[in-house]
Amino acid sequence: MNRNVFGIRSVLLGILILLAVITFIPGIGAWTIVDAGHVGVTTTFGAVNRVVDPGFVLKIPVFENVYAMETRTQKEQVVALAASKDLQSVTSTIALNFHLRGEKAVDVYQNIGEDYIDRIIAPAMQEAFKSTTSQFTAADLIVQREKVKQLAFNELGTRLAKYDIAVDDFNIVNFAFSQAFNDAIEQKTIAEQNKEKAQIEATTALIQAKGQADSQKILQSSGSLTDAYLHFLAIQKWDGKLPSSTNGVPFIQIPTK
């Protein structure tokens, strides 16, 4: 008899200990904590029933579960592949800042699930980037980068709003083009630089020629363009070599008084 009583007491004690463990262990027990910057979506046997604010949350052990959904601004960065208006391949790293609307977190969980970033946001970023990039030539993507960014931002805002996801910011981290396109840009740049250099040299030569012509006119009008002065100019330009033939005329003539 005593053994039976002892056995019953042991079973009851074990049940009480198990209930205590189930009750007081966070998450699976009668309570849990929702961290700041999150809301808790409470489910009963898998069915969503309510949203709870951050802090201490009571729940029915085993039957109820609380899933934390982050409402702070999050960042998703992906590598996107697209084609420009002139069919140039474009590879870019793009980044999106976004957040869930807290009051709509239950809808996001119910309609999409906890993996909404992989299922909704990442694909939307790819599609918005492709759609925007196709409106610009490769060269315009570079010089009108801010406009490209704004158009992609607007399109993402429209795409994600229907999923109760708010877009905070969008950035194009970099653009990368094919090697053939990069080579063509480099050749074009070099050609433009050479053209500009030739124009500068031609303008400089024209100015110098005009300056010399003007100075000679001034000398002639003033009577200063004498034979002695002309000999002086010839000596300045002489390279030190005597001509092979002078036809009997001295190369350098010393004027007499």
**Section 42-51 average pLDDT:** 86
Better-scored residue on pLDDT, 191 or 164: 164
**Section 140-166 average pLDDT:** 94
Its pTM stands at 0.62
pLDDT of residue 102: 82
* pLDDT higher than 90, residue 188: no
Q: Domains in the chain, ordered, with CATH?
A: 2-70 (no CATH), 74-177 (3.30.479.30), 201-257 (no CATH)
pLDDT, one tens digit per residue, over 104-140 is: 888 999 899 989 999 999 999 999 999 999 999 988 9
Highest mean pLDDT among 38-52, 63-77, 236-250: 63-77
Q: What are phi and psi of 47, to 5 degrees?
A: -90, 130
CA of residue 51 relative to chain centroid, distance: 36
The percentage of the chain sitting over the pLDDT mark of 70, rounded to a whole number, equals: 65
**Section 19-37 average pLDDT:** 69
The percentage of the chain sitting over the pLDDT mark of 90, rounded to a whole number, equals: 34
CA angle 62, 54, 108 (to 5 degrees): 75
**Type and span of the H or E element at 32:** strand 31-34
Better-scored residue on pLDDT, 62 or 93: 93
pLDDT of residue 170: 96
Please list, in sequence order, all residues whose beta carbon lies within 8 angstroms of the beta carbon of residue 251, skipping any fewer than 6 positions away: 242, 243
Highest mean pLDDT among 5-9, 207-211, 233-237: 207-211
Please list, in sequence order, all residues whose beta carbon lies within 8 angstroms of the beta carbon of residue 229, skipping any fewer than 6 positions away: 219
